[in-house]
Structure 1
Amino acid sequence: MNMHINEAKRILVTNDRGGYTVPTDRLYPFQWNWDSAFVAMGFALYDTDRAYRELERLVEGQWADGMIPHIVFHQPSDSYFPGPNVWRTRHSIPTSGITQPPVFAIALRKLHEASGDRTRTLPLYEAALKWHRWWYSARDPEGTGLVALLHPWESGSDNSPAWDVALARVPTTTDTPVVRKDTSHVNADMRPRNEDYQRFIHLVDVYAACEWNWAKQWEKAPFKVAEVQTTAILLKAGEDLRALAQEFGLLDDAAEIVAFNEKSRRALLAQWRPAFSRFVSRDLVSGQDIEAPTHAGFLPLLALDLSADLADAVVAEMQRWSDGMKVAFPTTKPYVDSFEAKRYWRGPSWAIINWLLIEGLTRNSRADMAEALRLSTVRAIETEGFAEYFDPITGEGCGGLGFSWTAAAYLSLAA
């Protein structure tokens, strides 16, 4: 066991670029938002100073309106597309123009509990609260409690089958030439398809033409999805933010956060669909439920205290997806038409998604399933190494190797 823990720590050192961690060398040469939050939780287990640094470097990219972008381009690199010249944002440090799942406050609370360092936690708490306010104003302007994504990359699950119908409406024409770099680092069969990339870049062009103004983007967005995974992470982060606000005696903040949380809790519960034994996102362009069977339908476990019968139904469905899999938990239901065991978010198992699901199962007193998932994840990493993700059927490690968030997940799950 010790050997693997040492290797996990070595990967985090290797991927350090001066107080922030790249996900892996060359394939992802910058600082990614939710990657860094997971990495900070890994560091918090043995080096709180370095964990704080990770979050502090991420916040350097925060916009004046509160958004924390999905990529901060601290230094140039030509091994990734799209770079800063494609995003055309106007921040003091080059960043992307979209965001990513708000794991930040979850990491911050864990770090604060490990360190007790109020002086370093407080400015990061303020940054997290500004970002939460941004989510509820820019991405839920109608006050529904479910926050929306305007780009598949914001979900972190870039090419998930959950986006197939909504993305098919987005044109494949682009103003920006699409010059993919990812497929020179990783087998193309493990990455999104070219037409996905055309649509991803079409969306970037549309929003850059709006000059990244949130109200204009909301109006013009050809892709708009009220998403249960992101809302569940936001709600869990909101619970952690509220705990910090109370500890710091910031009672007005705490009351504001409680109101956000209650709205999202109600909205998430309303997305439960008994026919599928999971929660569903909503396509705001068509007004339809998104019925594609993906792992996101189980992520609300992270932030909800489900009734026993609901939790039983969720776990029974998760069990059906896991049966016969070498590595749980598949990101798409096995053997449906859209399932592809090695293609990025269309089937593979990811250690960080398992980490979130384990937290959710534990919260809902489903210790057996949580432990089975923990063991499956730990064994996969010990067998195949710190891969970006795993083929759930064969167990093969796929995508980028020497991956930071897989190392961080291992440090937490093996502990």
Structure 2
Amino acid sequence: MTTTHSLGQAARQILTQNDKGSYTIPTKGLYPYQWNWDSAIAALGFAEFDINRAWVELETLFSGQWADGMVPHILFHQPDSGYFPGPDVWGCGGPIPSSGIIQPPIAASMARRIWEKDTVAGASRMVVLYPKMLAWHRWIMQWRLDRGAVCTTHPWETGRDNAPDWDNTMARMNASDVGEYTRRDTAHVNSDDRPTKFDYDRYIKLVQLGRKLNWDQAALREQSPFRVADPTMTFTTLGAARDLLAMGTELGFDTIGLAEDIQTLEAGAATLWNTDLGAFDSRDVLSGEWAECLSNASYLCWLGGIESDQMMDRLRNTLETVPYPVPSNDPDSDTFDARRYWRGPTWAVVNMLIGLGLEQQGHHAEAAELARKTGALISEHGFAEYFDPLSGSPAGGKSFTWTAAVWLAWAGEE
């Protein structure tokens, strides 16, 4: 049987082998660049054995921040022909070539946890980092709100690329003129584990639109066919706002407007409650239509500081009935697919975010149970990108940075 100690060594080795010096790639081949929320999770993992390296990870992420405050979802530090779409397709960037969209803004929440490990030493790093994190928060509040909920403008922004949340919105999109392109992801992993060509055509169509509009946020708000108020973005933005307020107050930074932003986001979170579904759900801003999806993102409410007895009942049921929780899609749904990316598989990284939220809200028993089950999943099936929630079998990329970081920072604790 693999011991906790040897798994810890293996996890550190994965972070080290995926380390490019100042940033970490998610895994070799499949994802050769620096991804935004992956990087924030990697930093938390590094903090368990090299806290300076943890700060460097976050500092490198924010070195690609655009002048308007946006922090892109990918930074293309070095050319790599093994990934599509690369910087030539996006046609944008700030100080570093990048994508033109964001990802869940968890960097501030991870920075707070790293800072709390050594507030004295961390204070000097926060002097530079805090204003950048605050600028990104204010960019989101300026460009991405609908009735207080945070919207996504591309499925890749949420990190949940092919989640059923977007099916209805994507089905209304015409991508017949997207042109020819060659995917690289299916050369690295089983195509049955990845989004379909139907999805990918629409992903690229949205990238093409963004480039055509020079990534002008006002123009995109007017012209894009994809704008969905989403639990992932709303709860992570809300959690980050609370963490920014707490850190800023402690360190003496400008926190003007953050308390009001938190109230706005709390009201926005309430607009994501689908009464018929009995869960937090995604809402198409343009059509007003519910996605009718109970996803693992629905359980991020506690990370945002939002309590819900109904979500707790659902979580307890999931912990009892799903062999390897938390699935990214309800196993009882017609759209459930146990292995296809975000249409069913369990993701250790989202489990950790759910667990951290549970812990900070005082739900210690549920947090501990989820950590234990996630730890058992990794112990049995390795550091995969994600897992079949019914069998536990690994899927996607191997030797995955954030799964290793989850073990070090949360699931591997005794």
Shorter-chain TM-score tier:
over 0.9
- Contact kept? 1:305, 1:363, Cα under 8 Å: no
Counterpart for residue 370 of structure 1: 367
Counterpart for residue 391 of structure 1: 388
Match of 1:209 among 212, 216, 234: 212
Contact 2:341 2:396 survives alignment (8 Å) = yes
Report what 1:133 is aligned to. 138
In structure 2, the partner of 1:282 is: 283
Q: 1:242 and 1:323 mapped to 2: Cα distance? A: 36
Q: Does 1:266 align with 2:267?
A: yes
User: Which segment drifts farther, 152-161 or 358-367?
Assistant: 358-367
Report the more deviating stretch, 222-231 or 171-180: 171-180
1:173-200: CA deviation from partner (whole Å, max 9, x where unpaired) = 3445321000010000000001100000
Taking the aligned partners of 1:122 and 1:359, their CA distance within structure 2 comes to 25
2:112 corresponds to: 109
Given that residues 331 and 344 in structure 2 are in contact (C-alpha distance below 8 angstroms), is that contact kept between their aligned partners in structure 1?
yes
Tell me the distance in 2 between the aligned counterparts of 1:220 and 1:159: 22
- CA deviations over 1:352-409 (Å, ceiling 9, x no partner): 1100111222233333322221111101111111000010001101100000000000
Separation in 2, partners of 1:118, 1:112: 7
Q: Aligned with 2:256: secondary structure? A: helix
Q: Does 1:119 align with 2:120?
A: no
1:358 is the counterpart of 2:347: no
Q: Which residue matches 2:76? A: 73
Q: Give the letter aligned to residue 291 of structure 2.
A: I
Instruction: Kindly provide the CA deviation profile for residues 99-122 of structure 1, in whole angstroms up to 9, marking residues without a partner as x.
Output: 000001001111211232212112
Q: Shift of the alpha carbon at 1:256? A: 1.2
The alpha-carbon deviation at position 248 of structure 1 amounts to 2.0
- 2:207 alignment partner AA: V
1:305 to 1:166, Cα distance in 2 relative to 1, 3 A: closer
Secondary structure of 2:283's match?
Answer: strand
The amino acid of 2:210's aligned partner reads Y
Q: What is the DSSP-based 3-state SS (H/G/I as helix, E as strand, rest coil) of the residue aligned with 1:36?
A: helix
Q: Could you tell me which residue of structure 1 aligns to residue 103 of structure 2?
A: 100
1:341 aligns with 2:338: yes
What is the aligned partner in structure 2 of residue 38 from structure 1? 41
Q: 1:410 to 1:161 in 2, by over 3 A?
A: same
**1:402 maps onto 2:390 in alignment:** no
Tell me: CA distance 1:365–1:274, structure 2 relative to 1, closer, same or farther (3 Å): farther
Partner residue in 1 for 2:159: 156
Per-residue CA deviations over 1:306-332 (Å, capped at 9, x if unaligned) read 2xxx32x21221233344422111000
1:248 maps to what in 2?
Answer: 251
8 A Cα contact 1:70 1:154, kept in partner = yes
Superposition deviation, residue 225 in structure 1: 0.4
CA contact (8 A) 1:277 1:317 kept: no
Distance in 1 between the 2:324 and 2:181 partners? 34
- State how many pairs are aligned: 407
Assess if the C-alpha contact under 8 Å between 2:329 and 2:344 holds in 1.
Answer: yes
Is the 8 Å Cα contact of residues 235 and 265 (structure 1) preserved in structure 2?
yes
1:170 and 1:305 map into 2 onto residues whose CA distance is 33
Shift, 1:274, TM fit: 4.2
Equivalent positions of 1:168-317 (< 5 A) are 168-175=171-178, 177-250=180-253, 253-306=254-307, 310-311=308-309, 313-317=310-314
TM superposition shift of 1:157: 0.2
Offset, 1:267: 1.8
> Cα distance 1:174–1:64, how it changes in 2: closer, same or farther (>3 A)?
farther
TM-score by length of 1: 0.95
Runs of 4+ residues deviating >6 angstroms: none
Contact 2:274 2:290 in 1 (8 A): no
What letter is aligned with 1:402? S
Q: Secondary structure at the match of 2:136?
A: helix
RMSD: 1.4
Code of the aligned partner of 2:303 = L
DSSP-derived class of the 1:23 partner: coil
The answer (yes or no) to whether the contact 1:4–1:382 under 8 Å persists in 2 is yes
1:34-59: CA deviation from partner (whole Å, max 9, x where unpaired): 00001111111221100011011111
Greater mean deviation of Cα atoms: 100-109 or 263-272: 263-272
Tell me, in whole angstroms, the C-alpha distance in 2 between the residues paired with 1:305 and 1:67: 26
**Secondary structure of residue in 2 paired with 1:17:** coil
CA distance 1:168–1:93, change in 2 (3 Å): same
With over 3 angstroms needed to count, the CA separation of the structure-2 counterparts of 1:176 and 1:72, relative to structure 1, is: farther
- Note the alpha carbon deviations across 1:213-251, whole angstroms, 9 max, x for none: 11011111110001122110011111111111111223x
Q: Which amino acid aligns with 1:215?
A: A
Question: What letter is aligned with 2:91?
Answer: R
The equivalent position to 1:89 in structure 2, one of 78, 88, 92, is 92
* Alignment partner of 1:321 is 2:322: no
Deviates more, 1:362-371 or 1:175-184: 362-371
Q: In the superposition, relative to structure 1, how do residues 365 and 244 fare at CA in structure 2: closer, same or farther (>3 Å)?
A: closer
Deviation at 1:31, TM superposition (A): 0.1
Amino acid at match of 1:326: P
Q: For 1:29 and 1:411, how far apart are their aligned partners in 2?
A: 22
Moved more, 253-262 or 313-322: 313-322
TM-score where L is the length of structure 2: 0.95
Question: Structure 1: which 5+ runs fail to align?
Answer: none
Verify the 8 A CA contact 1:8 1:410 in the aligned structure 2.
yes
Q: Quick one: which amino acid aligns to residue 375 of structure 2?
A: V
* Distance in 1 between residues matched to 2:224 and 2:375, nearest whole Å: 40
Confirm or deny: 8 A CA contact 1:34 1:102 kept in the other structure: yes
Determine the C-alpha separation between the residues in 2 that align with 1:258 and 1:147: 16
